Each structure stands twice: as structure tokens, then as C-alpha cells.
Amino acid sequence: MSKSTDPVAPVETDLTGFDLINNPMLNKGTAFTDEERCAFGLHGLLPPHVGTLEEQVERRLKVLRAFETDFERYAFLRELQDSDETLFYALIASNLEETLPLVYTPTVGEGCQRFSEIWHKPRGVFISYPNMHRIREILSDARFDRVRIVVVSDGERILGLGDQGAGGMGISIGKLSLYTACAGIHPDEALPVLLDVGTNNQERLDDPLYVGWRHERIRGDEYDAFIEEFVAAVSKRWPDVLLHWEDFAGSNAARLLERYRDRLCTFNDDIQGTAAIAASSLLAAVNVTGVPLTAQRIAVLGAGSAGCGIASLLLQAMIDAGAGEAEARRCFFLVDRNGLLVEGMPDIMPAQKPFLQKPEAVAGWTREAPNAIGLLDVVSNAHPTVLIGVSGQAGAFTESVVRTMASHVERPVIFPLSNPTSRSEATPEQLMAWSEGRALIGTGSPFPPLHWNGRTRKVNQTNNSYVFPGIGLGVLAAGARRITDAMFMVAGKTVAAMSPTVTDKEGLLLPPVTDLRKVAVAVAKAVARQAQADGVAQPCDEATLDARVAARVWEPHYRPYRRRG
């Protein structure tokens, strides 16, 4: 196949007939011209109608909208992706607001739970623990020569749904679909990977349809050796790869990122991407509330890798805005399953240490229970201006918590970010009612529009899809060797600078989902320049860098075909 991304440059291939139309990256379905049908032996394999990509999109949309459930729509789109990728991405990119919730959150959660039901065609790479000795052989296939981005999951913490084993491949596929739909990363450059180290989900193990390795999860040194072999093989196969870690359990996510971030170009989206979009949303909220970042008091429910990642980036943003580090740390209240994190508590993780409250600072607090400081205690005593949820606990932002917060803060900023929708800490309707219409709300998954006081307005979707596609595009365009914390900070600030609240206090916190491609390009340019500033990419002038970004954006168009040779 020709490697040109020029939409009019011919594709050269020696595939013909059945082999050609069964290659999802080459298939054009009814859009093959009569000349191409003659040249490639397609007459009889296709109906006689010769159509266009636009007609195909309309036909597929009609079918998509006729299904009764979103899971059916998800399964339909997965089949479309496996049969005609150009058509799939043309449909997605031109209907982002409608299709994003189908290929990504929230529907991808059910897609992972029911992955074994709908798996029918190879996509990506399954690397099971018994095949540890074959990893390099598996990755050596010539089909993967163009790969530049790898999204990998071990399926242990899929959204807020827990261990889905081999079904975690659905999240890797979904993430990479957004790299292409939102940032134009060519599908041939994107490889989803599932590291199958078993599952502790008994429902999966008992399911006769389950396609994964039927074994309890590998832990400890065996797990680490498996991950090491995988990373070493990836680094050898693609020295310039971007490795994106996705939905690893908190016990592994932070330590794997720390272990490998200086060995290759890599990041963890649950930790760093979530932090960047939370920062974007809070910076946009500042435009509305008028309360400067340095004066915010931030409570985070869920002090795992995502919660600590959010707190760390927001802490740095406060320091950048002029706050002293010690002063800024005292403004964070991280609440885990054992309550508010306080010095002297057992089993404190390294990432949590910067955010431990001093015992004397909370000694005089009124409490619901004597042995722990819960979220309501924090809200009652610390009077946070911002409440962020990454707990995966549906309903954790109770009416008492929200009403208490709203009684002390004129415009409470509340972000229930847990995915999918079923795991959100509260619904927008609840937050609006309990705050008497004063809350600024951002959710991790899409919710229907809010109706309040005779007005209808969209709900801010504080979703990583605003950040990670542009980061990937910027890394590839700049040829970055590593990803720095500053690159995530500038990504978050770039999204915030595009917020409608910059010019309209009544506007949404984030740009509309329909602008995600525009957002990705802006983020890519900012990230690429930051990579140069941080010394992890070769310098070049701004015009050259912008041209490199533009050149990497693939548009889903059918190109003319000709026989190779």
C-alpha cells in the first residue's frame, strides 16, 4: 500500500478481489469505481451501484440510528471499523457529538464487559502471559511497521467497572479510535494492545464465551517481568514509539509510569490526561467565579493514581500562578476509602505524601464519626471551593455534601469525573438542584442537557478526549523523545484558553465536542513547542513545526487505486 497521505495520490496495491475488500484499511465498498472493479477483479463481489463516501456515511447513519440500544450501536460501529476504516472515521469525525459516546465513554464500558460476545475479527494484539516468550515474534509482523502509537491495557481497572480481563482490549481500541477521529493519527500508525495476565473477575472466568486466558491474575515479580519484557520488545521494535498506558489498577499505574517514563516516550492517561483536563476545566471555571486559582480550596474524592495526578498538576498550576508550595499544599484535601489523608495514617502511597494534612490542622474539626474524617466532614470544616470525584462510587456526592458545600461557596465547582455514567458521583440534575442552580458542573461522561429555571443548557463533558489526542499528535510531529509534566500543563492551559468562558461567563467551560479536531491541533502545536523548550525534541522554527503538525493529520477520504507493478 502507498504510504502517501495525499487525498488524491493513488494507492498502489497488489491485493485483488476478496483479499482487497476484506482489508479494512483498503476497502471502499460500493465506492470502488468501474475502472477499479475491472483492474482488481471486484465485479461480482460488489453490487453494481457505484456510490460515494458521503452516500455511504448517510446510509450507515440511518442504520445506526435505527438500533434500540447504545450497545447495539457500539457493536455496529465496531463491525464497521473492522470492514471499512475510512468509512468508519468519516462517519465518526463528521458526527463527533453523536458518536463519541458510542465509541468511547460511556458505551465502551459495556463494550468491554461484553467484549467476548461481539469479538469476531482480529484487531490489535493480544499478548497473554503464556506467550511471554513470543512477544518479540508477535510484534515483528510487517503489518505493524508503521506503528507510532501503542495504547496498552491489562484490563484490570476498566473505567469504574473493575477487572474485565481480555475485554480491556475494548478500551485500547476505543482510545485509539479517538486519536484518529479527533487528531487525525493515521490508523496504520495506531496499535491497540491487551496484556492478558488473567482476571480475578469470576463472572468472566465462568463465562463459556470468554475469549481471554482463564487464569487468576499474575502478580508480583512474575507480573513485573512480563511488563518488562513487553516494554523492552516495544522499545526494540519501535524506538520512536509513544506508549500510552490505559486503565491499569492504581497499585500498578503510578509505579509503572515512574519506572518507564525516562526509558521511552510514555504516559498514563488516567493519571496525567485526567489531570490536564481537570486543570482545563478549573481554569475555565475561574473565568466564571472570579476566584483566582491561588485562592481555591480543592477536595478530591478518590486518592488513587488519578486523584493524586489531578492534585499534583493543580498544585503546580497554583505555584505557577504565584502561590507558595507549602501554602498551596494546605489547600488540598484528598479523601480515600479510609477518609481524609492525614499524616500518620498507615499504607500511604508516595504520590499521596505531598497532600497529607497535618493532624493539628484538623484536630478541632467537627466529625460525623470519631475514627475517620469523611467527605462531609471535609466539606463542613474546610469549605472547599472545588469538589472533584474520581472514586468510581456512584452517588458519593450526596445531597448533604453538596448542600453543605453550596452553603459556604457562592459558585461551587463540582466535577464528578468517574466513568462510565453509571459510576458518576452524582448526576448533573442532582448537583443543580442541591446547589439551587449555582454549581459549575463538569462530568467525565456525557449527560443529556440540563433543564433549570426554564432554561436548557448542555452539560460540560470534562473528558480526556480534549487532551490526549492532541498530545499524541504533538509528540509525533515534534519527534519528542519523552513526555514531560510541562507538556501536560501546557495542554491543559491550551484547552482552557479555548473555553467559551473567556468571552462569555454564561458559556460552557470547554469548547463544544464538535470542535475536538480544532482543539487537538491547537494542543498539538503547544505540546510540540513545549517539547522543544524542555529539550526532549529537536528545535525548529514555528512555521516548520506547524507544517509538521498539519502534515500528520489524516483525513478519511477514499483515494484512487492502481495495481502495483
Task: Please give the Cα distance from 107 to 104 (Å, whole number).
Answer: 6
The answer to whether 466 is a known catalytic residue is no
Give the C-alpha separation, 447 to 416, whole Å: 12
Is 246 annotated for ligand binding?
yes
DSSP 3-state of 389: strand
The C-alpha atoms of residue 378 and residue 302 are separated, in whole angstroms, by 13
Q: How far apart are CA 500 and CA 90, in angstroms?
A: 27
Alpha-carbon 141 to chain mean position: 27
Gap between the Cα atoms of 383 and 414, Å rounded: 13
Full 3-state SS string of 267-296 = EEHHHHHHHHHHHHHHHHHHHHHCCCHHHC
> H/E/C letters for each residue in 91-154?
HHHHCHHHHHHHHCCCHHHHHHHCHHHHCCCCCCEEEEHHHHHHHHHHHCCHHHCCCCEEEEEC
Name which of 416, 446, 442 is nearest 100 in CA terms. Answer: 446
**Number of neighbouring beta carbons within 10 Å of residue 550:** 13
**515 carries a ligand binding annotation:** no
Supply 458's cell numbers: 448542555
Strand pairing category for 386-389 and 413-416: parallel
Catalytic residue among 74, 89, 104, 561: 104
Q: Considering the candidates 175, 210, 558, 561, report the single residue annotated as catalytic.
A: 175
How far apart are the C-alpha atoms of 526 and 467, rounded to whole Å? Answer: 11
- 3-state DSSP: the chain helix, strand, coil percent, rounded to 5? 50, 10, 40
Q: Which residues of 96-121 are buried (b: 16+ CB within 10 A; e: fewer)?
A: bebbbbbbbbbbbbbbbbbbbebbee
Per-residue b/e over 139-160, b at no fewer than 16 CB within 10 Å?
Answer: beeeebeebbbbbbbbbbbbbb
In order of 23, 36, 212, the CA distances from 128 in angstroms are: 25, 41, 8
- Which grid cell is 376? 462531609
Annotation marks residue 175 as catalytic? yes
Residue 280 has which C-alpha cell? 482545563
Q: Does 154 belong to an annotated binding site?
A: no
Rounded CA-CA distance 405/378 in Å is 10
460 bridge partner residues:
442
Question: How far is 446 from 440, CA to CA, in rounded Å?
Answer: 15
Backbone angles phi, psi at 226, to 5 degrees: -65, -45
Any known ligand binding at 27?
A: no
Query: Would the annotation count 247 as a binding residue?
Result: yes
Q: Mark residue 41 as left, alpha or beta (left: phi above 0; alpha: psi -120 to 50; beta: remaining).
A: left
Exposure class string for 225-236: b at 16+ Cβ within 10 A, else e: ebbeebbebbbe
| Of 201, 194, 233, nearest in space to 216 by CA | 201
| CA atoms of 543 and 524, how far apart (whole Å) | 14
Site of grid cell 512477544? 135
Q: Is 221 annotated as a binding residue?
A: no
Q: Which three cell numbers stand for residue 501?
A: 468562558
Indicate the DSSP class of residue 145.
T
Binding residue ranges for a divalent metal cation: 246-247, 270
Instruction: Give me the active site residues, please.
Output: 104, 175
Binding residue ranges: 157, 246-247, 270, 419, 463
Binding residue ranges for (S)-malate: 157, 419, 463
